Structure 1
Amino acid sequence: MTPQDYEYLRKLLKERSGLDLSADKQYLVESRLVPLARKESLAGIPELVQKMKVGAEALTAEVVEAMTTNETFFFRDKLPFDHLKEAVLPALAQARAARRSLRIWCAASSTGQEPYSIAMCLKEAGAMLAGWRTEIVATDLSLAVLEKSKAGIFSQFEVQRGLPIQMLVKYFTQNGELWQLNADIRSMVQHRQLNLLQDFSHLGTFDVIFCRNVLIYFDQDTKAKIFERISRMLEPDGVLALGAAESVVGITNAFKPYPDRRGLYRPNAAPTVVRPGIATLVPQAPRSIASAR
């Protein structure tokens, strides 16, 4: 792979997916794209790039998908799900008692372990949410992982990563070496393809947003813009959950920490964007609980 080919791929991946590759990540590109080149009967990455340049849009989409990291597992990092069960759901159940509905967005949902972990938390809430309308919207850039998520079928290895044995027995049915989530859990999750770089206001507003372990791949400016847009999609008392290694500090003032719950944030009433030497007021968009269908 020539330096020119790598620069072309870096620019394309940043424009299409937000992935911000540093100059020393050629090995990662080669490990992901050489198998794709072989599948397309191409000699290597230079030939792959050349074919993309002449307008092979389907191939370009495959390249972006191949470079997208889809690492995930059930109840990943555990703490956000403990917070959801112990603090967030009880508080929202009280605040939404008249409305009796909850909307949760799982951004970059990958193969489904995270949104289904959320769904199981809602099921485990039992009487607290009995008779409520609950909606979980799972979005991802990759159609392939969304299709896998819809099926709700996981290998023995996948169900052994983070899933408590009692939940495996309670919510899954075994079929040979595979396990399928029961239909009642699968039906709680809606799947939609979505690129976080593009407008996502059509999804409506949410009570809880899980946006974990995806923005770490974006540059600071892109992160700030996405945080600003996410803040407008949360109810004033809504909650944003980030990954264990993520924070809004130094990026945006659109959120403030949720009291005593690490990794959780609430929207500020009038967020400002953190820029070197600049603080720009971002007006809040009118809020609506209407869901996009």
Structure 2
Amino acid sequence: MLFFTEPDQQLTEEEFRLIRDLIYHHCGIFFDSDSKYLLDKRLYRRLVHHSLGSFREYYQFLKYHPKRNEELSDIMDILTTNETYFFREGFQLKAYTDEILPDLMKLREKERTLRIWSAGCSTGEEPYTIAMLMLEMGCFLGWRVEIVGSDISQRVVQQARKGVYGQASFRSTEEHYLKRYFVKTPDGYRIADQVRELVSISHMNLFDANRLALLGKMDVIFCRNVIIYFDNDAKKRLIDSFYHTLSSGGYLLLGHSESLMNLSTAFALRHLKNDMVYQKTVAL
């Protein structure tokens, strides 16, 4: 039987700065000095897991070990929150179906192609929600619709690809959606194939420029409750990359507590009936 006690090794100020800065340069997540205790407490488990004698050794592991990227991915699960559920922030989703998509249908009527990115999709509820809403609209028959979900955590990416969910994911889901788009299994509710066919799930670091370039242009980017983990410099870099990833007239949807104030003036703020969103100006 294992008993968890207070760490024998504690982060020194120098070790904290080294590990914090390494994480920041890897993925943009910044931990201020008040977070030292959090890193100390949560990362100590990784020292035990790898049989390391000190945080200095752990820093060397993160910097030079062949499995460093795998470890950095693992600790994202430890240091961030993956709280999500289907149909989250319904007012914004209504703006998406009632106002944004009709606008994009007009803009893309020649190409009849729409590409949507759920950046920081966690366990997949968001991209699958987007797919269900578009299927419900029934006006994209004959269109090429592609929904991409991505996350930095390998664990949640695997869970999203599996597409099986428990009751906690359905706190805002109407019975109609549950019956139409899910299959009950012994492990929970599995997303139906017609939804899954519209969605692809990828492992991606939002600050990996090479991976971002391969993603291609997007018409809508959902990035909700993600930038809260970044400092202003990292936020500006990310928003700038979103701007260049969006097609002309494309939309950026952030979480209800997030905004581009003091971060970017490149987007137009659109006051829709159901929500405020950001749009890349339509090229004339």
TM-score, normalised to structure 2's length? 0.86
Give the drift of 1:201. 2.5
Query: Residue 135 of structure 1 aligns with which residue?
Result: 146
1:119 correspondence with 2:161: no
Distance 1:233 1:60 in 2: 25
SS at match of 1:129: coil
Q: What is the aligned counterpart of 1:147 among 150, 153, 158?
A: 158
Alpha-carbon separation, structure 2, partners of 1:97 and 1:52? 48
Q: Distance in 2 between matches of 1:59 and 1:223?
A: 24
RMSD between aligned residues: 2.2
Provide the C-alpha distance between the structure 2 equivalents of 1:71 and 1:81, rounded to a whole number of angstroms. 18
How far off is 1:94 after superposition?
2.5
1:9-42 deviation line (CA, Å, top 9, x unaligned): 2111111111111111133324432333333345
Do the aligned partners of 2:73 and 2:154 also contact (CA within 8 Å) in 1? no
User: C-alpha displacement at 1:167, in angstroms?
Assistant: 0.9
Contact 1:227-1:254 at 8 Å conserved across structures: no
Aligned partner of 2:157: which letter?
Answer: L
Structure having greater relative contact order (Cα 8 Å, sep ≥ 6): 2
Unaligned runs of 5+ in 2: 1-9
Q: Which amino acid aligns with 2:202?
A: R
1:56-95 correspondence to structure 2 within 5 Å: 57=68, 58-95=70-107
Deviations 1:178-222 (A, max 9, x none): 111011111211122221112113211111111111111111122
Matches within 5 A, 1:255-274: 255-260=267-272, 261-268=274-281
Q: How does 1:21-100 map to 2 (within 5 A)?
A: 21-42=31-52, 48-49=58-59, 51-52=61-62, 55=65, 57=68, 58-100=70-112
Task: Give, in whole Å, the separation in 2 of the partners of 1:20 and 1:115.
Answer: 26
- SS of corresponding position for 1:102: strand
**Amino acid of the residue matched to residue 134 of structure 1?**
V
State the shift of 1:43 in Å.
6.3
1:12 to 22, 31, 38: 22
Q: Kindly provide the amino acid, as one letter, of the partner of residue 262 in structure 2.
A: G
How far does residue 50 in structure 1 lie from its aligned partner after superposition?
5.4
Deviations 1:47-82 (CA, angstroms, capped at 9, x unpaired): 644544563624344334432432222122212211
Q: Which amino acid aligns with 2:22?
A: L
1:17, 1:64 within 8 Å by CA — same for their partners in 2?
Answer: no
Instruction: State the alpha-carbon separation in 2 of the partners of residues 51 and 131 from structure 1.
Output: 51
Task: Report the CA distance shift for 1:71/1:263 in structure 2 as closer, same or farther (over 3 A).
Answer: farther
Change (3 A) 1:132 1:33: same
CA distance in 1, matches of 2:198, 2:97: 17
Residues 153 and 219 of structure 1: CA distance in aligned 2, closer, same or farther (over 3 Å): same
* Structure 1 position 141, deviation (Å): 1.2
Amino acid at match of 1:267: K
Q: How is 1:148-227 mapped onto 2 (pairs within 5 angstroms)?
A: 148-158=159-169, 160-199=170-209, 200-227=212-239
- The alpha-carbon deviation at position 259 of structure 1 amounts to 3.0
Identity %: 33
SS at match of 1:228: helix
SS of structure 1 residue aligned to 2:104: helix
**How many residues align structurally?**
268
1:109 matched to 2:121? The reply is: yes
CA contact (8 A) 2:76 2:152 kept: no
* Structure 1 gap segments, 5+ residues each: 271-293
Asked if structure 1 preserves the Cα contact closer than 8 Å seen for 2:86 and 2:171, the reply is yes
* Matching residue of 2:249: 237
Aligned to 2:34, the other structure's residue is in SS state coil
Q: Which amino acid aligns with 2:29?
A: L
Q: Is the 8 A contact 1:102 1:135 kept in 2?
A: yes
